[in-house]
Structure formats: structure tokens, C-alpha cells
Structure 1
Amino acid sequence: MAEVTLRGFGWRHAGRRAWAVRGVDLRIAHGERVLLLGPSGAGKSTLLAALAGLLAEDSGEAEGTVEIDGLDPRKARERVGVLFQDPETQLVMSRCGDDVAFGLENRGVPAAEIWPRVDEALARVGFGHGRDRLTAALSGGEQQRLALAGVLALRPGLLLLDEPTANLDPAGAALVRGAVARALDADTTLLLVEHRVADALPLVDRVVVLEPGGGVAADGPPGAVFAAHGAALAEAGVWIPGHPVAPRRAAAGPGEVLVRAAGAAVAGRLRPADLTAHAGEVLAVTGPNGAGKSTLALLLGGLMRPTSGAVEAAPAGAPHRWRAAALTTRIGSVFQDPEHQFVTHRVADELALGPRRLGRPAAEVDRVVAGLLDRLRLTRLAGANPYTLSGGEARRLSVATALATAPRLLVLDEPTFGQDRRTWIELVDLLAGLRDDGHGVVAVTHDADFVAALADREHRLAR
């Protein structure tokens, strides 16, 4: 069992003026199941990191206290299991079974108990591979399920889940939610961060809403919180059931073909695929985890060569053969993991990098950077380190870096991951505007609401 107590808790990352989270007074009793809500940047992930004992003293400034059963979280780590937004950062072994066993071995679990607990945890999350499957061969969604299995195998008293289904297809997400439900018992305390509230409600009995920089804004049973604060929460960016988003339809029909895949395949990762992406349209690429959606995005973006078939893009053939400068101005790519494309230590420098490499005048670079910072709500973070951003902020920065060189075609992998309702709508509006200005958009996504709101066509991959 685990009881959580925060008194006046706050945390400010080193080098940042604004506090990531501040003034939090909160008590979570043994066995409670709590959904933690708040707009992107409200400090939800930071709070979970504090409870997991992962905020190093030399990496920021703290105020107030955080306790788990009266202990500093750094002394209560064996009572806590945590799954953060990026499961790849939690995978440490080359084989899947060994990865789930790793935590058990470190905890000194008797050898005879380890493999039965590994198999039980893998079955609970619906993991479709055996123990010997290489972790490097997993899709993002499969990695997430494996990481969750590693957490569940430890049988923690406090279970911390940060967007546990964000990168999963609907079937995989349902398996994970079911696994979490089965893993909970009267002695397990749950703190869940999840933007899609309706799917999370069956798992919880209490909702806590964080106000950016201002502590707890609402706290209580879900029905009572939504009845009293639903409209205000939706306006602030929280996904509240019963507040639909209007679709953004194209102003005109599609234009010329910007990229075409003809039987394009990558051995072991993507079966032969045929598709075309046009100027003036949004093409959604959907399908189950492991179908090769991210691989297809890399092919269309010119970042990978097909092992068979072909990818051709206007105006000069196979994009993987283009020089970097030509590719940057014609096709912009946004990866599934935003941090994989950050190379500087300041948000503003990240946005300026592409235009500077193209030799754009300093005044033009400054205009581009300022415009993108404002458009994607990143102005206050211009001097921040990209690696200290929240998941939603990092996703918006990754989109902005791709837009900085004004490419005609934009290829995005899970563009709405980590976004609250407000920034989701703003991102959809931004992409709709690009489409209506004649740009082409290819979006790999599991987000059915995104497809319904924006996509002109859907191309579904089969596994």
C-alpha cells in the first residue's frame, strides 16, 4: 500500500524562470485511483517524476514536501512503479523477457518466482511476442506494453502512469487499460495522467485538476468535478466528455502529387505499400501497432531507402537520394519521439537551426522563429532547454522545427501525442491552414478524433 502527501510542493527546472508546478497541496489515501488532469505544461509529468523520486537536487529547485507513507520518495522507490510518456527510455535489455525480469532481479526476487511473474505480466498487457523477442524490433506501442509489463511485474503499492496509451492503437489501448484494471486491487494506489478522459474514467474514482503554476484547481469525484467545472476546464484545454471539436474541412480539392509510394517495403518492418500524397490535402495513415506506419513515414520523408519498390517525390525523384538542403526545403519530418530531432540547448536555437543552415538572412531567421514561437504557444519557453519541456510542448516544438524551412510536404508521426484540448485544436487549425495554403500533410496517427476532424483521406495499413 502507499499513501501520497504533498504540501506546498513546487519544482522549477534549472535555467527556467517559470515553475513547472507550484503550490500543490494534495493527499491521496491508500487504494485511491486518481486521474490527474490539467492543460499541457501544468506540471503533471513533473509531479509524477517527483513521486517516483526522479527529480535530482542538482537539476532544479524544489519547495514544499513530497512524501510516500511518510518517506521521501527517494527512500520509497521500492513501493512505486512508474511508466512515463516515452517507454523507450525505460527499456534496458536486448530481449523482452530479460527486460521485464530486470527490475525483479534488482529487487532480489527469488529466482524461482521471476519467470512466472514475467510471463504473467506479459500476458496481462496482451504482449504478442515471446520472451526472446528483441526489444529493438518492437514498434512504439509494443515498447509501451513491454514497459508496462516491467512495472506490473514489480507489484507496486503506488502505480504512476503517464499517458500509458498515447501511442497505442485502439485495440492495444484497450488491452493496456484492461491490464491496469486487473493489476489494481484494494491495496494499490493509482495516479494516472491521461488526456483522453472518457477512456480513463472507468479506472478512477477521483479527479484532481492542476492549474499551471497555481496548485490544485479542482478535486473530487469525476461527475461532480465535470458538472461544476466542465466548461471552464474545456476552455483551459482539458479533454472533457461532451465537448466535441468541430471538423476542419478542406477549402478546395487536392492538387498535384507530392510523393508516391509504389510497392515500397522494408524487409521485416513494412509490407509493400502503395499510396499518393497530394498538395492541398491531409492524408491520415492508420493501422495497428507493428504495421509499419512509422517506417512508411521515414520512407515518404526521404529518411530511409526502401528495400523493394520505390518512393518518388516531386520534383526530383527518390527523396532518399536528395541532398540534406534540398530535402529540408521540400519535405519536413516530425518523428514519433520529439527528442530524437533536438540538437541544441535552447528552444529558439532549435527553430533557427534549419533556416540558418540554408543561409537565410539573420532578420528573416528571427522573423521565422518569433512567428513559430507565437503560433505554437512556445514564446515563454524560447530560452528553455528542449529536453526539459513537457510531452505536449516537445511535440509542438518538433512540429515547429519542421515548419521552419517552409517545406511543401509535411510528414508527421503521431502529431497530437501529449496535447491538451486547446493545443490539439490549435495544432489541427495550423495543419488545416497549411493544407488550405497548398501544402501536403501526411500524418501517421492512432488518434481517431484527429482523423475525423482533419483528414481528407485515410490509408490504413494491415499488419
Structure 2
Amino acid sequence: MAASGAGVRPAAVSARGWGWRHAGRSVPAVQGLDLDIRAGERVLLLGASGAGKSTLLHALAGVLGGGDDGADESGTLLLDGAAPRGQRGRAGLMQQDPETQVVLSRLGDDAAFGAENLAVPRGQIWQCVREALEDVGLSGFALDHPTSALSGGQKQRLALAGILAMRPGLVLLDEPTANLDPAGVLEVRDAVGRSLDKTGATLVVVEHRVAVWKDLVDRIVVLQPGGSGRPAVLLDGAPDEVLARSGRLLAAAGVWVPGHVPATRPRARAGAGPVLLSAEDLAVSRERPRRRGVPPVPVQSGIAAEVRAGQALTVTGPNGAGKSTFALTLAGLLAPSGGRVRASAALAAGAGTEPFKWKAKHLIARIGTVFQEPEHQFVTGRVHDELMVGPRHLGRGGDVVVELLQRLRLDHLAVANPYTLSGGEKRQLSVATVLAAHPQVLVLDEPTFGQDAGTWAELASFLSELLDAGTAVVSVTHDEEFTAVLGGTALRLGPARMEAGAA
């Protein structure tokens, strides 16, 4: 562990009987937490989806409400002996999604945003920004480089630079590599390691997959869900010791233990059915035409692909290759910039052969889309109501909703507000809302991010059943294990011209 440097005073954390119940919930997210983290210590925080990991990080960052919003706090949680809410800037939080963390159009301005809000003197800000950009490996870019031209991995490193420029004593990372390609994962992890070696700041990182972080941390702490009646901390110790002693217990708790892939329902491996969708010399972009009759510059072009009934199509490639843009175009939510997407007569059923021109009532029953950011598709205030949107729109009953709630382990959250769920639970709900409408084609953008090993296996098994029943599944993913389970065909998109919104 490095000695403190660069003006950073590492923070210490202490919890005694601490708990938090979100507004509208009957069961606390965290209950009875007793935990001490020494100044400068590096901790990997594990646990099943819904175990309260993100809740704890948000509390340490001082961004949870003060109890006046219907939430309930118990016990004490202290940062350097005082409540986190009163220590603005002492902790820096980096969340899962790189897109939502970029707030300004130029790289330097974005990195300086946090320090400016802390009223750091202007001369000091830019010194801190340059040092932080160097620490995360972005010093090769000009300060006025457009943030829209960064890949996902670069945006995550930029978010980290913004935190480091604030000189926090506690760095909080909430699944910082969940949406990144393998190269981007290593970029972010190595940038974290370099910055910690330099500053000696305390680290708490939440990830489901242990292998990436275990050699960077001093300690693993495993939480179990609040309301279980058991102590909040299930396991606590040095990484190698915890993994060697409690590998089976960790796997049973939903932790991704290195070398262990959860068992899933085997595919029937029936032959692929007829073509439902095809991409023909397709060009994709999220930009609008700059002039009438002049199409935008595509992020990818010349794409050819077929989506067949009962077969999986996996879309892979580096961050910034346009995978999400392609998926949204294939699903009829973006207009092609060139070429075309064609639906078969069986899928179109009289609605026309171009999905982009379909009305919503035609699209929802034929092609269901799960966005990369789950919050983008929530429209109600209760989990159960969210699942009923599709069936109600199609004039169907709610029997499928009960099955989905149980199958995807959301039944205990039926009356919860979707926006209060953990990242993994939000992803489960976003997938379930699409499945409830029984579309013939599923288009899923990073369907397994934020999932613990148990919910991952359940989702993979469920999708395998749908494939065997004739549903087509298109997945944008970096998850090699998930790709292997579903089988089918793969489309790899190479590095592309970067544009705003490309993913």
C-alpha cells in the first residue's frame, strides 16, 4: 500500500449497526452493518444482486437522502468520524454507465467539473486536472478534445480523472467496468491502480467478477441482503484466503468466483428457423442529416446480417464500434443511414417490411428491445405495473407477469419503485418488461451487466428456453460465457469512426 501523496489524505470508514431502508420498501437494503475500513485500505465489496452494495457506496458518497423522503436509516455510518453527508468532496463516486457521467463537451472541462463545484482555486484546478489525466492515461488528448469522440473505456477513465482531480480521500467505484470490452476493463483497472499507488487514497470497489480486481485489493468483504436476519457481512478477509476457504459459499451467494461458470439449462440445439430480419448493406448512425438529402456520416456501414427464428445472434466488438447503434437500427428504433433493414412477411404480418416505419403497437409485439441503460425504458412507479405495460397495451392478461416476477427473482420487489432497485435488479426488470409482451425477436443491449452469478444463470437459461421455442435473440455483449451458452452466430463490428452517442 502506497504512502499518501499528491495532497490526498486517505479516509477511514466505520459502520456500527448501520442500515438503510429505501422509501416504499418493507425490507432494508442493508441492515446491521458492522464494518471498519482503515485509511488507505483497498476493499473489493461483493454480494448477490440486491445485497445493498450500491446503497452503501451511495451512503458513503453522501448522496442518500437524510430520512425526509420516506427512507429510514439506523445505526451509524461515519467517514473520518463524521457523517458522510456533511463532508462534501471527501469521497468521489464513479458509477456503472460511462455515458451518464460525461456532462461537458470538452475533455478538460469535464475533468475539471467536480473540482470547480468544490470551489478549488482556478490555478490549482488545472494542475490537478493535468495530473489526473496523466494518471488515467489520457494526457495524450488535448484539453479541448470532444468527449463525444471518446470510447466507453476512455469515458470511464475520464470519469475517474474527474474524481481524482477532486483529491478525494475515498474512491468509490460501482461496477466501473460493467459495460466495457475486455481491453477497456484492463484500461480502467490499471488506471485505478496507478492513481492509488500515487495518492494512497482509500478504495471501495463493487464488482461481481472477482478475477479483475482481486490482485489490486487488500481485502474482500461480502455482504448479504438486508432483512435476512443474519449479520450484514458474510465474509471478510484477504482475497486469496477468502477465495480458497469459501469458494463454494461465495458461488452459492452469487459471486463470480474465478474459474467457476454457473450451470445453465442446456440448449436443445435445434436447427435455425426462417429469417425474420435481415440487414442489407446497412449503414448506421445516431446523427441527423446535416443538410436536406445529405445523410449523416455513419459510424458503421456495409453491415450484412440475418436474424433467424430460434437462433441467437451475438454482436461483439470494441467500445465505440457502433454495436448499440446497429442494434437500435435493427430493432426499428433508428432509421438506417444507408442500406435497409427488412422484415420477413411472417414477422411483418401486414405491417410493412421496414420496421422503422411500424407503429408502436406493431413493434411491441414483434421486436422487443432492452436498452443499455435500464432507466430509459421505465414508465411507471411500481415493478408490477412496469411489467403490465406490454400486456395491457396488447390487450392481454397478466398471467405472464407473475411467472416473470418469480423466474427473474423480482417477486419480492413487486410494489417497489423501479428507480430504487439495484443495478442488477434494474437490468432484470428491463429484460422482463420486454419478455412480458412475447415478441418474436428480442434485441438485448448488454443483458448480463450487473448480474450476479445466480441471476446470470437464470437469465441465460430463460433465454435458452425462448430460443428453443422459436424466439430470435440478438445480444450486444462483451460476455463470452453468455455467448457460449446461447450459441448461434456472431457478428463482430470493428473499430469505427467515433460519433456522439456511439456505443
Same fold (TM over 0.5): yes
Question: How far apart, CA to CA, are the structure 1 residues paired with 2:134 and 2:354?
Answer: 43
1:189 is displaced (CA, Å) by 0.7
1:187 is displaced (CA, Å) by 2.9
Partner of 2:317: 287
**TM-score (normalizing by structure 2):** 0.88
Question: How far apart, CA to CA, are the structure 2 residues paired with 1:312 and 1:282?
Answer: 18
Is residue 308 of structure 1 aligned with residue 338 of structure 2? yes
Is residue 346 of structure 1 aligned with residue 355 of structure 2? no
Question: How far apart, CA to CA, are the structure 2 residues paired with 1:264 and 1:207?
Answer: 47
Is residue 95 of structure 1 aligned with residue 106 of structure 2? yes
Partner of 2:462: 430
CA spacing shift, 1:356–1:309, aligned 2, 3 Å: same
Q: Which amino acid in the other structure matches residue 159 of structure 1?
A: V
Question: How far apart, CA to CA, are the structure 2 residues paired with 1:124 and 1:262?
Answer: 44
Does the CA-based 8 Å contact 1:271-1:292 persist in structure 2? no
Structure 2, unmatched stretches of 5+, are: 1-9, 286-296, 496-503
Partner of 2:361: 325
Residue from 209, 213, 223 that aligns with 1:210: 223
Residue from 271, 282, 285 that aligns with 1:264: 282
Is residue 387 of structure 1 aligned with residue 419 of structure 2? yes
1:300 is displaced (CA, Å) by 1.0
SS in 2 for 1:237: coil
CA spacing shift, 1:430–1:141, aligned 2, 3 Å: farther
1:93 is displaced (CA, Å) by 2.2
Does the CA-based 8 Å contact 1:250-1:281 persist in structure 2? no
Structure 1, unmatched stretches of 5+, are: none
Residue from 175, 180, 183 that aligns with 2:187: 175
CA spacing shift, 1:123–1:297, aligned 2, 3 Å: farther
1:246 is displaced (CA, Å) by 4.8
Question: How far apart, CA to CA, are the structure 2 residues paired with 1:112 and 1:3?
Answer: 29
Q: Which amino acid in the other structure matches residue 355 of structure 2?
A: P
Give the alignment's Cα RMSD to 1 decimal: 1.8
Partner of 2:236: 219
Does the CA-based 8 Å contact 2:156-2:188 persist in structure 1? no
Question: How far apart, CA to CA, are the structure 1 residues paired with 2:166 and 2:315?
Answer: 36
Partner of 2:174: 162
Does the CA-based 8 Å contact 2:97-2:176 persist in structure 1? no
1:321 is displaced (CA, Å) by 0.7
Partner of 1:447: 479
Question: How far apart, CA to CA, are the structure 1 residues paired with 2:136 and 2:485?
Answer: 30
Q: Which amino acid in the other structure matches residue 15 of structure 1?
A: G
Is residue 400 of structure 1 aligned with residue 432 of structure 2? yes
SS in 1 for 2:314: strand
Partner of 2:76: 65
Partner of 1:107: 118
1:133 is displaced (CA, Å) by 4.2
Does the CA-based 8 Å contact 2:91-2:170 persist in structure 1? yes
Question: How far apart, CA to CA, are the structure 1 residues paired with 2:89 and 2:152?
Answer: 27
1:457 is displaced (CA, Å) by 1.7
Q: Deviations over 1:134-168 (max 9, x none)?
A: 44565554433322221122232111001011111
CA spacing shift, 1:139–1:351, aligned 2, 3 Å: farther
Most deviating of 93-102 and 376-385: 93-102
Question: How far apart, CA to CA, are the structure 1 residues paired with 2:57 and 2:210?
Answer: 18
Does the CA-based 8 Å contact 1:302-1:320 persist in structure 2? yes
Question: How far apart, CA to CA, are the structure 2 residues paired with 1:369 and 1:131?
Answer: 50
- Runs of 4+ with >6 A deviation: none
Does the CA-based 8 Å contact 1:287-1:462 persist in structure 2? yes
Question: How far apart, CA to CA, are the structure 2 residues paired with 1:221 and 1:16?
Answer: 34
Partner of 1:458: 490
Question: How far apart, CA to CA, are the structure 2 residues paired with 1:250 and 1:134?
Answer: 48
Partner of 1:189: 202
Residue from 9, 14, 35 that aligns with 1:5: 14
Question: How far apart, CA to CA, are the structure 1 residues paired with 2:421 and 2:148?
Answer: 26
Question: How far apart, CA to CA, are the structure 1 residues paired with 2:121 and 2:299?
Answer: 37
1:129 is displaced (CA, Å) by 5.5
Partner of 1:276: 306
Is residue 240 of structure 1 aligned with residue 254 of structure 2? no
Q: Deviations over 1:254-307 (max 9, x none)?
A: 111111111211234333321111111111101011100000110111100011
Q: Which amino acid in the other structure matches residue 273 of structure 1?
A: I
Question: How far apart, CA to CA, are the structure 2 residues paired with 1:107 and 1:429?
Answer: 48
Partner of 1:24: 33
Partner of 2:291: none
Does the CA-based 8 Å contact 1:346-1:383 persist in structure 2? yes
Most deviating of 270-279 and 33-42: 270-279
Does the CA-based 8 Å contact 1:249-1:456 persist in structure 2? no
**TM-score (normalizing by structure 1):** 0.95
Does the CA-based 8 Å contact 1:351-1:400 persist in structure 2? yes
Question: How far apart, CA to CA, are the structure 2 residues paired with 1:53 and 1:396?
Answer: 27
Is residue 359 of structure 1 aligned with residue 359 of structure 2? no
Q: Which amino acid in the other structure matches residue 19 of structure 1?
A: P
Question: How far apart, CA to CA, are the structure 2 residues paired with 1:54 and 1:90?
Answer: 15
1:126 is displaced (CA, Å) by 4.2
Does the CA-based 8 Å contact 2:152-2:184 persist in structure 1? no
Question: How far apart, CA to CA, are the structure 1 residues paired with 2:162 and 2:191?
Answer: 12
Does the CA-based 8 Å contact 1:142-1:290 persist in structure 2? no
Is residue 373 of structure 1 aligned with residue 409 of structure 2? no
Residue-pair matches, total: 459
1:94 is displaced (CA, Å) by 3.0
Q: Which amino acid in the other structure matches residue 344 of structure 1?
A: T
Does the CA-based 8 Å contact 1:245-1:453 persist in structure 2? no
Question: How far apart, CA to CA, are the structure 2 residues paired with 1:88 and 1:10?
Answer: 31
CA spacing shift, 1:330–1:288, aligned 2, 3 Å: same
CA spacing shift, 1:278–1:142, aligned 2, 3 Å: farther
Is residue 77 of structure 1 aligned with residue 94 of structure 2? no
Q: Which amino acid in the other structure matches residue 188 of structure 1?
A: A
Question: How far apart, CA to CA, are the structure 2 residues paired with 1:136 and 1:387?
Answer: 27
Most deviating of 225-234 and 115-124: 115-124
SS in 2 for 1:349: helix
